[in-house]
Every structure is written in C-alpha cells, then in structure tokens.
C-alpha cells in the first residue's frame, strides 16, 4: 500500500500552531473592540484567513502533500471568489 | 461486497483526493450562505452591528477555542497512529469527540436563550426589528444550524473511527480512514473560524 | 479465473437475480440500473410533454385544467432536467464506459457509486411522491422561483428535497469520476492519451462538484423559508428574491454544461470511428471542454436580464455569454474538419451525431440571440427560449445520448442494433423534432409567452403544427426504444469490436467480463490511432 513519504508531523509543531491560533483569536476579539469602521470588519476577517491558512497548511497536512492537492484547492476558492464578485457586480450597482 | 476482487486494492492517495473533493463541495455549500451574508451585510452594515449585540461574545469565543483545541487533538491522533501509538490515537479521537459535544451543548444553551427571548425566525419579537437585524438572525440560525449539523456528523464519524482504531482495523499501516475523518473535522473548524468573526465580531 | 471471465450480465456473487443487481458495485451494472430507471422517468415526462402539446393544439381546447397544466410543465421540467438530462450521459454511458476507456476494472469508489444510485432513486421517489401528497403537484415551474415557491400551497418542499438528493447523487458521481480519472488510468495512458469522452467527463466532474452544492444550499433555504420563515428571500423581511435567482442560476447555468459537455464527449468518440481517421485538433477539443467548464461559471446572469438586475451586471453577463460560444464553436469546427476527407460510414450512431451537429448548431446560435441584451428583452420568457433550450438539451444532449446508446449498445449487451430500424427512428425523430420545436422560434418571436395555458387564435397554425410534430417525434422515440429493447434479446451477436474503434473499451469482450480486462492493457499511442489499428498491446 502506498503511503505518505513524509514522517508523522511532530506534536510540537501542532501545539505551536494551536498556540498561534488561540493568540490570533484573542487578537481578532481585541481588534473588533476598537471601533474603526470598515477596518474593524476587515481585520478580523483577515485574521480569520490567516487562521484558516494555518489549519489548512499544518492540521490538514497541505504543507506535506504533493502539488496536486494545493492546486486543486484553488478551484473551489477561485469559484467562490468569482461567484461572489459577479453577484456584487449586480448588487453593488443596483 | 462480493464483487470486489483482489485487484480493488485500497488506493491511499485516491481516497484522500476523494475526501478533499468532498470538502470542496462543503466549501461551496457554505459558500452560498457566505454570499448571502456578504450581500446583506453590504446593504445594511449598521443593522448587522445592532443585531450582533444580541449575541454573547463569551459563548462564541469559548466555542471557537473549543473547536480549535479539538482540531489540535484530531491532528495529534493522526500523528500518533502513524507512529503506531494506538493509545494516544484513541485519546486524541476521544478528546475531539468530547470537545465536539461540549461545542454542541454550548450552542444549545445559546439557541435556547435566543428562543426564550422570543428571537426565532418569524417570531413577533424578531419581525418587529429592522430588516437588517431580521436577515442577520435568519442567516445566524441557518449558518450556525447547518454548521451544528456538521459538528454532529463529524463527531459521529469520529466515533466510528474510534471503534475501528480500537479494533485495529485502522492502524499504523492503514490509517486512511482516520486521516480523512480528521480532514472533515478540520473543515468544520475552518468554517467556524469564519462564522465567529462574521456573527460575533461585526462592528 | 473462469468466474472472472464470465460476462457481467450473468449471475455471479452471493446474491442472485434482482438482489444481485441492486447490491452490485460493478460500474457496468450500476450503469444499467440507472438506464432502466431513467427510461421509465423519461417516458413519463415525455407523456406529460405530449399532453401539454395536446392541450395547446387549438385555442380553448381544454384537455386539462389550468392548474393541472401548471403542474404538467413543472413536473415535465423537473423530471426531464433532474432525472434525465443532467444524470443521463454521465450516469449511464459514463459509468459504463469510463473505467473501460481508462483500462480500469472499476471506478475509484464502487460502493459510493452504488450509493449515488440510491440517492438518485430516493430523489426520484421524493419528486414523484410530491405529485400526490401534501397540497398536490408543484406548480412553480422547474426553477422554483421565490416568492411564489415559498407562498404556493402545493408540495414544493418535498419536490425541492428530491432535487436536493438528486444533486447529491450527481455531485458524488462527479467526485467519483474525477478521482477515477486521476488514479485509475492504465499504464501508459498519459493525460493527452485519454479519449475525449474522458476529458469531457473530467470537465463535467468539476462542474458537478463545484456548482451542485450551491443548488443544494439554495434548495435547503427554500425549505427553511417555507418551514420557519427565515426571511432571507422574503422582501417583507428585507430579503432579496433576486438573490435566489442568482444562487439558482449559479448552479443551473453550469448545469447546462453538465448536460452538454458529456454529450460533446460522445460526439468526439463517434466521429473518428465512422470517419476512419484521427480526430482533428485533439488538444483543442480537450481544452475547449475545460474552457466551457470555466467560462460556463460566469455567465449565469443571462437568465436574469429582465429580473431587475443592475445595468452593469446585465452588460457584463451579456459580454461573457458571447465568450462561452467560442469553445463550443471550436468543437463544431473540429468535428466537421474530422469528417472532411474521412472515409465515412453512415451507421446509426453517426446518423444521430449528424442530427446532433445540425440541431445543436441551431440551439447554440439562437443562444447568442438570447444572450444579446436588446433582443433578449423581446424574447425573454417566450416560446423562443423554449425552442432554444429544447434544441440544446434535446437536440443536443438527447440526440448525443441516443448516439452513444447505439454506439455502445453492442458493448453493453453483446448484440448488434438493427441498423434499418435505428436509422428510420433517427430520421423520424429528427423530422418530428424540427416540426415540433422550430415553429416555437417563430411563435416566440411573435410574442407567445411560455407556460401559458391558452393563446389567441392567430397563433393557432404554428401551435397545431408543433403538436403534430410531437406525435412524429414520439413515434420515432417509440420505434427507437422498441428496437433497442428488441436488440437485448434478438439482436445478432456482436464481436468485441464491431465498429473498429481504437479506444480501450473495444479491447474488452462484448459484453465485458466482470473484471473488464483479463490483463490491464498498456497504452502506447493516442486514442484515435487510425489507420493502423494497433494503438494497444495487451
């Protein structure tokens, strides 16, 4: 049976990633309490994206996968971006 | 099934591709809801801000921490099984399931309180509020509800995997099932990572 | 070993008879399961269509009640689209042929494949149950537009849930095929040695995977809206019904490509075989499949030109719609160029293909008329649209499906289809089709709205003509079905490769053995290596 070529990820790596995720969560709560208009929406979303990337990259092993998986992930994300963008072409200009 | 002959050997990479493709469909399933959220948030930002005051940041935050931690234990269980540490793998899965249930209990009390306050879809208390607040709550119930169903499904899946690991059908040499179940679990976490700021942190 | 060499049609495994079929994870058996169920649904929906036409034979001829008429076009649409055209080619021909063409023994996830069939049947059951339960058959049209679909007392929720399950089935089939194509290709079969049908299914798989979930969530929202009144589509609570249309068409326009892409793949398989030469522009056809899949995502707004979208969106979507015609045009030119100077044998599959090219060209070109903003205002919601999409879906996908059936029937059952009857049926259907649908272009242009129960007298000649056309078409259909069913028992035995095809499925016996190939073939050339018919060594 075919297997992953990389060795099992070290626990230390995962725990550090988790610590960063928790820190980022706290940071986004902090950022949202500063009422700065649009920025107070964008900053938490940006932080969420960093967190999501960490989960994908480490927890979901994307870092260790072959290129195929990384490229494929762009398809749904691209699709989502495109359908959101084009819907806004309607709602924004209405 | 009797039809499969020796040639249907298990394809480790194939199974993983299949799982990732399934996760893509989940991304787009929630994507439709994110699309609605984005449009309505853009239309009535002030009302969304008002509506978020009805939610408890502390509950949302604790659920976020619960899910992040459960993602950690799930990831640890995969590493453990690959090192052949059955006990630690079981521990990881077990803690993940417990945290999943904790999340649901939390969510239950949160919903219960809203509904107790008369804030449920179509209720007089809700419809008397502005359109934007109404939409916020419509989306809140739909998105967290659908996410909750996924938490439940993920927990059930992990319970099955727990049994398989215990019986050593999932082991150091064949751990595809555990890895893919954990991929699903991480996706559930991933979606919550976005739901949290969208519902609890909008200002 | 003897057991494995037996035909997949013969009894094997622990369970015999019907149970052996209903629990089989063999891709060939699952294909036939889909085919038998689909034939029934197709006949039901055809009957509903004929009934609709009968009602329209003359103004004031009330064969059915107005309310029943609304249910007729809704149910006709739902069945034809969700139960026949969308799953048709991938689930039947794709399931049967894909692993054979790849030189594989099955798809990547055989059990999931069977599971998809049960999803399909569950969805079909819900859709059919919705006709007789609750408030009666849905009367919203197959598009389930809000706010009417939320307000109507008919049994929309169950029908919508049925469509949700059918979506799951389609999505899981796409997932299965994508993984299969990535993982199960025979040794030596590089991406550019894959048959074009496989390329088409690959592009389709991505569309099934990435578009269907959006429909899923949209339909769930309709159910939630009906059950709880969450208000996201309800203007009275701030919701925007046009967003429903966006979400609906974000799936349903790409769904048009789920229907047509595999059809184009079938055409690309049949043409080189009956022209005895390699396909012209292999890579152009392969890449145009991907291009259609990608561009097909960004044109959905052209269904909503008159719905109250912003002008900016209308201009953008109209422009993008013209772009999507380019890859389809590329294919048409490549097919005709492949026929040019070929040594053509007009057997029944090719006859269906020629009918396809003719009808699909009309359907495609009238699509451009719909896609242009100014003309769209005139013809939106008229019979012009009805004619257009029947030319694309039935004239396109339907005829390609029949072409594929005639082409692969000898492989499926090991028997040759009677050519004379097949050709007669094809010609009859072609004539009936044009008599039925061409007048609708004119009717629509003159302003006849779709989905109307009655009409003013001056539309009568064309309406009556169309009704007569429906009879000719159905006669052809019945002849074809009779001929195919007759073949299963009484057809002449077929050799492994009756058409002298070069793709791998013709290296398996007819009908194929349970495990498809005794030895997995090794591929050394492209798929259409004519004239030297030695592309493969086994």
- The answer to whether the CB atoms of B68 and A25 lie below 8 A apart is yes
Q: CB-CB: which of A3, A8, A32 is closest to B12? A: A3
C99 three-class SS? helix
Q: A-chain residues within 8 Å CB-CB of B201? A: 28-29, 32, 44
Average confidence (pLDDT) per 10 residues, chain C, 538 residues: 70 82 95 96 96 94 90 92 95 97 96 97 94 87 90 91 95 97 96 96 96 96 92 89 95 94 97 94 95 93 93 94 92 94 94 97 94 93 96 97 97 96 98 98 96 94 97 97 96 94 94 92 90 43
How confident is residue A5, by pLDDT bands cut at 50, 70 and 90?
low
Alpha-carbon distance B62 to nearest alpha carbon in chain C (angstroms): 27
* Domain that residue A50 falls in: 9-60
Residues of chain B with pLDDT under 50: 1-8
Alpha-carbon distance A87 to nearest alpha carbon in chain C (angstroms): 7
Residue B14 lies in a domain: no
Q: How far apart are CA C211 and CA A78, in angstroms?
A: 12
- The answer to whether the beta carbons of residues B32 and C233 sit under 8 Å apart is no
Alpha-carbon distance B193 to nearest alpha carbon in chain A (angstroms): 6
Identify the CA nearest to C254 among candidates C305, C203, C218, C219.
C203
The per-residue pLDDT for range B55-83, each reduced to its tens digit, is: 999 999 999 999 999 999 999 999 999 99
**Tell me, what's the pLDDT at A3?**
62
ipTM rounded to 2 decimals: 0.93
CATH assignment of the domain containing B187: 1.20.120.80
C142 three-class SS? coil
Q: How far apart are CA C89 and CA C132, in angstroms?
A: 29
- The answer to whether the CB atoms of A75 and C206 lie below 8 A apart is yes
- The answer to whether the CB atoms of A89 and C316 lie below 8 A apart is yes
Closest residue, chain B, to A60 (C-alpha): B183
| Two structure tokens written together for C514 | 């349970």
Residue A1 lies in a domain: no
Residue A90 lies in a domain: yes
By residue count, chain A amounts to 94
Q: How many domains does chain A have?
A: 2
Cβ under 8 Å to A: C residues 293-322: 297-298, 300-301, 308-313, 316-317
| Two structure tokens written together for C157 | 């929720």
Q: How far apart are CA C251 and CA C398, in angstroms?
A: 21
| Two structure tokens written together for C206 | 């991505």
Q: How many domains does chain B have?
A: 1
Question: Is A49 found in the same domain as A15?
Answer: yes
Beta bridge partners of C536: C523
Other beta carbons less than 10 A from residue B121's beta carbon? 22
* Domain that residue B37 falls in: 26-196
Q: CB-CB: which of A76, A79, A90 is closest to C313? A: A90
- The answer to whether the beta carbons of residues C520 and C186 sit under 8 Å apart is yes
Q: How far apart are CA C96 and CA C107, in angstroms?
A: 10
pTM for the whole thing?
Answer: 0.95
The per-residue pLDDT for range C367-415, each reduced to its tens digit, is: 999 999 999 999 999 999 999 999 999 999 999 999 999 999 999 999 9
Q: Is B11 on the interface with C (CB under 8 A)?
A: yes
| B130: phi then psi, degrees, rounded to nearest 5 | -70, 165
Question: Is A15 found in the same domain as A40?
Answer: yes
- The answer to whether the CB atoms of A84 and B35 lie below 8 A apart is yes
Question: Is A69 found in the same domain as A26?
Answer: no
Alpha-carbon distance B68 to nearest alpha carbon in chain A (angstroms): 7
Q: What is the DSSP string of C336-400?
A: HHHHTT------HHHHHHHHHHHHHHHHHHHHHHHHSHHHHHHHTTBHHHHHHHHIIIIIIIIHH
The per-residue pLDDT for range C219-266, each reduced to its tens digit, is: 999 999 999 988 899 888 889 999 999 999 999 999 999 999 999 999
Q: How far apart are CA A74 and CA C392, in angstroms?
A: 31
By residue count, chain C amounts to 538
Q: How far apart are CA C267 and CA C143, in angstroms?
A: 29
Share of chain A above pLDDT 70, in %: 91
By residue count, chain B amounts to 203
What is the H or E stretch that residue C255 is in? helix C241-275
- Chains in touch with B (3+ beta-carbon pairs under 8 Å) read A, C
Q: How far apart are CA C405 and CA C398, in angstroms?
A: 11
The residue ranges of every structural domain in chain C are 26-537
Whether the predicted pLDDT of A1 surpasses 50: no
- The answer to whether the CB atoms of A80 and B43 lie below 8 A apart is no
Count of A-C CB contacts under 8 Å: 43
Identify the CA nearest to C482 among candidates C420, C398, C396.
C420
The per-residue pLDDT for range A56-81, each reduced to its tens digit, is: 999 999 999 999 999 999 999 999 99
Question: Is A37 found in the same domain as A80?
Answer: no
- The answer to whether the beta carbons of residues A44 and A32 sit under 8 Å apart is yes
Q: C-chain residues within 8 Å CB-CB of A90? A: 242, 246, 301, 309-310, 312-313
Identify the CA nearest to C85 among candidates C203, C214, C260.
C260
C145 three-class SS? coil
Q: Which of C237, C245, C297 to mutate to test the interface with B (most CBs of B within 10 A)?
A: C237
Question: Is A53 found in the same domain as A73?
Answer: no
Q: CB-CB: which of C213, C224, C237 is closest to B131? A: C237
Q: A-chain residues within 8 Å CB-CB of C210? A: 75-76, 79
Residue B20 lies in a domain: no
- The answer to whether the CB atoms of C231 and B122 lie below 8 A apart is yes
Q: Write the CA distances from C362 to B59, B139, C348, C512, integer angstroms.
A: 60, 44, 21, 38
What is the H or E stretch that residue B193 is in? helix B176-200
Question: Is A78 found in the same domain as A38?
Answer: no
Torsion angle of alpha carbons C301, C307, C313, C314, nearest 10°? 80
HSE toward the beta carbon, residue C177, CA cutoff 13 A? 34
Q: B-chain residues within 8 Å CB-CB of A87? A: 35, 39
**b/e per residue B88-114 (b: at least 16 CB within 10 A):** bbbebbbbbbebbebbeeebeebbeeb
Q: What is the maximum alpha-carbon separation in chain B? A: 65
CATH of segment(s) C26-537: 1.20.210.10
Q: In chain A, what are the helix, strand and coil shares in percent, each to the nearest 5?
A: 80, 0, 20
Q: Is C20 on the interface with B (CB under 8 A)?
A: no
- Whose tokens are 């052949």? That residue is B84
- The answer to whether the beta carbons of residues C447 and C487 sit under 8 Å apart is no
Question: Is A40 found in the same domain as A70?
Answer: no
Other beta carbons less than 10 A from residue C75's beta carbon? 22
- What's the first-to-final CA gap in chain B, in angstroms? 55
Residue B50 lies in a domain: yes
- The answer to whether the CB atoms of C214 and A76 lie below 8 A apart is no
Beta bridge partners of C522: C537
Alpha-carbon distance C172 to nearest alpha carbon in chain B (angstroms): 8
Residue B8 lies in a domain: no
| Two structure tokens written together for C286 | 């392969």
Closest residue, chain B, to A8 (C-alpha): B79
Residue A2 lies in a domain: no
Question: Is A52 found in the same domain as A18?
Answer: yes
Alpha-carbon distance C283 to nearest alpha carbon in chain B (angstroms): 25
When computed from its CA atoms, the radius of gyration of chain A, rounded to whole angstroms, is 18
């Amino acid at each position: 049976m075919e297997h992953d070529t990389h060795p099992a990820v070290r626990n230390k790596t995962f725990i550090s990633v988790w610590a960063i995720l928790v820190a980022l969560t706290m940071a986004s709560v902090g950022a949202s309490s500063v009422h700065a208009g649009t920025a107070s929406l964008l900053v938490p979303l940006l932080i969420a994206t960093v967190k999501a990337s960490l989960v994908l990259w480490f927890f979901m092993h994307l870092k260790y996968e072959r290129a195929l998986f990384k490229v494929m992930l762009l398809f749904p994300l691209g699709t989502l971006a495109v359908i959101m963008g084009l819907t806004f072409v309607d709602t924004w200009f209405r | 099934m009797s039809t499969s002959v020796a040639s249907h050997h298990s394809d480790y990479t194939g199974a993983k591709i299949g799982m990732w493709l399934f996760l893509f469909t989940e991304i787009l399933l929630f994507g439709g809801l994110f699309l609605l959220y984005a449009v309505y948030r853009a239309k009535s930002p002030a009302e969304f801000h008002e509506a978020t005051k009805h939610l408890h940041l502390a509950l949302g935050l604790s659920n976020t921490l619960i899910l992040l931690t459960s993602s950690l234990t799930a990831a640890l269980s995969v590493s453990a099984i690959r090192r052949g540490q059955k006990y630690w793998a079981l521990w990881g899965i077990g803690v993940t399931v417990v945290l999943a249930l904790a999340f649901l209990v939390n969510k239950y009390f949160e919903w219960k309180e809203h509904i107790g306050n008369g804030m449920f879809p179509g209720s007089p208390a809700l419809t008397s509020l502005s359109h934007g607040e109404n939409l916020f709550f419509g989306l809140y119930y739909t998105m967290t509800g659908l996410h909750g169903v996924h938490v439940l499904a993920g927990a059930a899946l992990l319970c099955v995997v727990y049994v398989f690991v215990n019986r050593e059908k999932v082991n150091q040499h064949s751990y595809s099932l555990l890895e893919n179940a954990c991929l699903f679990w991480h996706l559930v976490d991933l979606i919550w990572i976005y739901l949290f700021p969208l519902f609890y942190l909008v200002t | 070993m003897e057991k494995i060499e037996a035909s997949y049609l013969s009894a094997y495994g622990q369970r015999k008879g019907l149970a052996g079929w209903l629990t089989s994870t063999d891709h060939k058996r699952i294909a036939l399961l889909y085919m038998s169920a689909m034939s029934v649904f197709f006949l039901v929906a055809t009957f509903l269509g004929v009934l609709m036409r009968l009602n329209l034979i003359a103004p004031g001829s009330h064969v059915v009640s107005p309310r029943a008429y609304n249910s007729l076009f809704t149910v006709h649409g739902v069945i034809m689209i969700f139960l026949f055209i969308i799953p048709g080619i991938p689930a039947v021909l794709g399931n049967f042929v894909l692993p054979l063409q790849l030189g594989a023994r099955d798809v990547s996830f055989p059990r999931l494949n069977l599971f998809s069939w049960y999803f399909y049947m569950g969805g079909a059951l819900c859709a059919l149950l919705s006709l007789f339960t609750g408030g009666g058959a849905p009367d919203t049209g197959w598009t389930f537009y809000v706010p009417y679909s939320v307000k109507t007392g008919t049994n929309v929720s169950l029908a919508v849930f049925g469509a949700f399950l059918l979506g799951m089935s389609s999505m899981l089939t796409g997932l299965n095929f994508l993984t299969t194509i990535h993982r199960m290709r025979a040794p030596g079969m590089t991406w550019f040695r894959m048959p074009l049908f496989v390329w088409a299914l690959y592009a389709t798989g991505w569309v099934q995977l990435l578009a269907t979930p959006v429909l899923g969530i949209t339909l769930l929202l309709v159910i939630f809206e009906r059950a709880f009144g969450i208000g996201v589509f309800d203007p009275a609570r701030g919701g925007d019904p046009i967003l429903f249309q966006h979400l609906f068409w974000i799936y349903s326009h790409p769904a048009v490509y789920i229907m047509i892409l595999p059809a184009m793949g079938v055409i690309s398989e049949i043409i080189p075989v009956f022209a005895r030469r390699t396909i012209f522009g292999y890579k152009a056809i392969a890449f145009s499949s991907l291009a259609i899949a990608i561009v097909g995502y960004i044109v959905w707004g052209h269904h909503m030109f008159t719905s109250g979208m912003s002008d900016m969106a209308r201009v953008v979507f109209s422009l993008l719609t013209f772009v999507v015609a380019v890859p389809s045009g590329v294919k048409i030119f490549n097919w005709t160029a492949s026929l040019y100077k070929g040594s053509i044998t007009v057997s029944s599959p090719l006859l269906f293909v020629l009918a396809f090219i003719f009808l699909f060209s009309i359907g495609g070109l009238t699509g451009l008329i719909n896609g242009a903003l100014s003309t769209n205002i005139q013809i939106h919601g008229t019979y012009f649209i009805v004619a257009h999409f029947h030319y694309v879906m039935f004239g396109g996908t339907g005829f390609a499906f029949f072409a594929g059936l005639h082409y692969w029937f000898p492989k499926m059952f090991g028997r040759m289809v009677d050519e004379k009857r097949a050709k007669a049926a094809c010609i009859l259907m072609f004539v009936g089709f044009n008599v039925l649908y061409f007048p609708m272009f004119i009717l629509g242009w003159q302003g006849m709205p779709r989905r109307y129960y009655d009409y003013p007298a001056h539309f009568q000649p064309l309406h009556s003509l169309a009704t007569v056309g429906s009879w000719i078409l159905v006669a052809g259909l019945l002849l074809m079905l009779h001929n195919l069913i007759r073949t299963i028992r009484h057809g002449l035995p077929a050799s492994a490769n009756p058409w002298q095809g070069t793709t791998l499925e013709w290296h398996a016996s007819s009908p194929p053995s349970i495990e498809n190939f005794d030895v997995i073939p090794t591929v050394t050339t492209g798929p259409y290596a004519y004239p030297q018919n030695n592309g493969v060594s086994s």
